[in-house]
A and B are shown apart, each in its own frame.
Chain A
């Protein structure tokens, strides 16, 4: 039964855009017409049409096909549709809507007036051919102007701006987009996504100019207009379309005294009620919780809430998800939730960039990696729907969230010439081959940590850490994954960048560095790396209170931890030369503390099995006898191996032992990215095997030949001849520069050999920098080395004299008993762990 018209309330909807029309449909569907007599005003001559696909107006669609409804639909349901009739006042005194034709009384009003394009206040913005992009009439004007134009510019590189650019292309104009921000679509994408978007759009022949603020528009020489930018650069064009954002059409509400937001928009509550409960507002004119929603979906949600308010239902507007999936100029762009990751403290990112296929995907996940907080897609929206599922429904992410954005593997990509065969063993502790590592990456691992967990590689002795990293980096790069070179999760910097920060800012403690440039507590990766950097720069004792928590246990206790928790002790025996008296002391100390003794490869003597609490007494005895620490525990100079040289050898041409001792004493204590070994041979017979060392020195008739970046160990590498026939001083200054340059620029735990292999420009570059001083760093590097040399102190002598530091050498803080679990047995007349 129909309620008589006279008893119905009069509902007036001002605005017949997409949202206004959606409300009409809702009213029809939900039976609201039983209660309301509805009148709709539209200022345009067209019935509501699809603004989202407006650019298709230039590619074949006409007004009719874009229309969302028909006049018949309105008539059929008894809705009075008054198009081409703009409302110019809302008279709340008498509850009437005023147009240029009449006054219409109301019981309720819904404002759905939408927004208008913002035209920046640039001198010349009102010239002929300066247009906007919002309505069908705007598009007609653009089409008319384009008939006499060859070129067109869109001011604004956001969503609508790119739509407009598409429209200009559709009119066969040579098109450019001018954006104030440093990238396109700054709201939806980050700088990497923006860069990819730019590439794709430029490849379509659309010129993209970012970071451009138009200062004025004036007559052009080669075209109708000339745009002048902030740096006086110019761009000439026949047609300009402004698409620099939208502003709410709130003038009716403003004039009638409704509450308006500071920057425009009619303030509404969850029921879409304005400050006058008879009046509602929906769509782009409405300001909810300080936000204007410039998308159609939130507008529709407001329409549903408004319907509930009018009909007494429960639906409320509670904000809207601004996730969008777009195809702009044929380029997919997707944005879900907190795509920039700046609304959730502690959010973590996964990013995948493929510059060949021009695809960029980014996940923003909660700090525990379990929830999807946002996502960003450029170039491929195929995963949008899946991601939206995770986001919308709060589903727990898979164990490796990166698998959601990584492409499925399509056979092994071509490997670089350097690459090892698949069968090469990378980690011998766990027998992990390069093939195993590839399998882990193919199964979704995108970082070193995941590969380590997957394969157990480098979780044994750790000796393969650097090799593993370079294989993983290589494999990821080969798969188009951008490798994050950050040292760890606590610092978004490489070791080299951290080094520069420490030096430039004079930062002397880890706590200051992480406070200013990192976050969290640090970890067993960044702490020792920073400790090493601080020591290279300032050479403060590593056992000082501020530095002690940063050190690996070997550095902390200045001895090498062995597998049963005891330590080995290696005093320095420079050049391998030792007096009988000192040799006897070593024997006595080993006897007294029951230590296993062995001669090392570096020509010194290692004493094994020392208990933590015995270390200070052992060192007291050693220091008494004139020994000093050998830094066998540190990432620092280990030994300078030498042959006996011209003093005794009938072939020797220089005093290799003397030079070895001088070198060892100069560089002892230098903290570096990894350990450093030297060798000095007295003639070309090379008995000291100097060419397998980081620094190799070989005597010639005229002086010394210097070899660099050799290595023994797991990946042997012959050192390369760097300079010939140096005299003693030249040898020292060259090594000063070389070592300090390595300390500055190498990655953590990167031996000189790997550093050299990764160095762009190779040996020639290194020679330029070190020998020809191409960077002008020579003096500085030498000065820095001299500082380290001048500030050298034996760390053990320093600790022995400091009771506070000695407190650390207790097995237990509440008991003097030794650790009863350390048990030895005997073998070949010495102790060994049971």
Chain B
């Protein structure tokens, strides 16, 4: 039995927090990419770290639907009218970190996952 299957089964019954990496792996005010096991199978997730802000951690799809490349974690983080966003490094569309909504195209949304700091570990619920 592989890990992904086990986690998949558990996800149906209770909340699963996966340990992804440590705080030292993060890049302040930028993103890193990681693998995440989800109920729908493995996913590439972009984790953004905004130290000192009300919400410091965000996790959303690393996959950029406009270019079909896995690059979101390498975008520039900023805000539009106070809402934290990341700009895709390829065609520059902006996605809200909070809910993954694309600012330029209402019909496109990235998946997001709850993420938090557990001691020095970064854990994501999936």
Contacts and interface: CB of A to CB of B under 8 A. Distances in A.
Interface string B54-87: 0000000001000111110011111111101101
Given A561-B90, A808-B27, A523 B70 contact: no
A453 interface: yes
B78 A527 contact: yes
A563 B79 contact: no
The residue among A368, A523, A552, A814 with the most chain B CB atoms within 10 A of its own CB is A814
B28 interface: yes
A460 B91 contact: yes
B33 interface: yes
Contacts of A175: none
Nearest to B18: A814
Contacts of A556: 30, 74
A263 interface: no
A811 B46 CA distance: 11
A811 B33 contact: yes
B77 A549 contact: yes
B38 to A, nearest CB: 14
Contacts of A330: none
Nearest to A461: B91
B20 A813 contact: yes
A504 B126 CA distance: 50
A527 B78 CA distance: 8
Contacts of A527: 76, 78
B46 to A, nearest CB: 11
Interface in A790-817: 807-808, 810-815, 817
Contact of B74 (A460, A553, A563): A553
A548 B27 contact: yes
Contacts of B76: 523-524, 527-528, 549-553
B35 A815 contact: yes
A822 B93 CA distance: 21
Interface string B1-45: 000000000000000000011000101111011110000000010
Nearest to B36: A814
A774 interface: no
Contact of B81 (A489, A807, A821): A489
B74 A561 contact: yes
A459 B104 contact: yes
B89 A561 contact: yes
**Chain A binding surface SS class:** loop
A459 B25 contact: no
Interface string B83-126: 01101011111100000000010000000000000000000000
Nearest to B19: A814
B80 A489 contact: yes
Contact of A549 (B29, B44, B69, B94): B29
Contacts of A548: 27, 30
A526 B68 CA distance: 26
B118 to A, nearest CB: 15
A459 B92 contact: yes
Contact of B27 (A368, A526, A549, A557): A549
A415 interface: no
A523 B87 contact: yes
Contacts of B50: 521
19 contacts: A367-B82, A453-B104, A459-B93, A489-B81, A522-B78, A548-B30, A549-B27, A552-B76, A556-B30, A561-B71, A561-B89, A564-B67, A565-B69, A808-B27, A813-B32, A814-B20, A814-B34, A817-B35, A821-B69
Interface of B: 20-21, 25, 27-30, 32-35, 44, 47, 50, 53, 63, 67-71, 74-82, 84-85, 87, 89-94, 104
Interface of A: 346, 348, 367-369, 453, 459-460, 462, 489-490, 520-524, 526-528, 545, 548-553, 556-557, 561, 563-565, 807-808, 810-815, 817, 819, 821-822
Given A565-B70, A814-B34, 11 more contacts: A459-B104, A462-B92, A521-B50, A524-B75, A524-B78, A548-B27, A552-B89, A553-B74, A564-B68, A812-B33, A819-B70
